[in-house]
Amino acid sequence: MEQLSAEELLAQYTGGKRDFEPIDLSEVYLFQADLRKINLNSSKLRGTYLPYANLSGANLRQAQLEAADLGDAQLYEANLSEANLQGANLSRANLRYANLRSANLSGVNLQGADLHYADLSYADLRYANLSRANLEQANLEGAQLAGSNLFRAQQIDLSKALFDRTTIFPDGYRGDSSFG
């Protein structure tokens, strides 16, 4: 797997290249990078620094993003299905319409994230921080929420999600299927 520096990646992207699968961008500094519609399928981005990056429409399917920092990133319509984001920071990220189906999001910080219409079906969200996240129309079918923090999460439907007594529920949770 080819390893690229931030400068090499950005130069190639600026030159029109969009298909980079798979490459190693572990620990690379890409603060505020504009990488819309980039293809990083099956790439390594462990510990990569991407706050405020624009990855709208990006293909990050099966990417390894453990401990990556994607705080305040734009991930609108991004494909993160089957990606490993364990321990990553996605606080305040825009994940509207993102595909996170079967992704490993255990221990992820999604505090204040916008997950409108996101597909989180069968995702592992154990011990994730979803406090203040907006989950309006998000698909949580089969999502694992044991130990997750949903305090003040908005517009959430847990009717098809899996949770246990360690899950911290939002204000107003009455044991029915939805609240917000």
The model's pLDDT over 70-127, given as tens digits with 9 standing for 90+, comes to 999 999 999 999 999 999 999 999 999 999 999 999 999 999 999 999 999 999 999 9
> What separation in angstroms does the CA of 4 have from each of 55, 100, 147, 150?
18, 25, 37, 37
Domain assignment of residue 118, given as a range: 1-180
Is residue 152 packed enough to be buried (19+ CB in 10 Å), middle (13-18) or exposed (0-12)? middle
Count of residues making up the chain: 180
Segment holding 9, helix H or strand E: helix 6-14
> What separation in angstroms does the CA of 130 have from each of 34, 67, 125, 177?
26, 17, 9, 17
Q: Which CATH number belongs to the domain containing residue 173 in this structure?
A: 2.160.20.80
pLDDT at 179 exceeding the cut of 50? no
Place of tokens 């107003």: 172
| Count of domains observed in the chain | 1
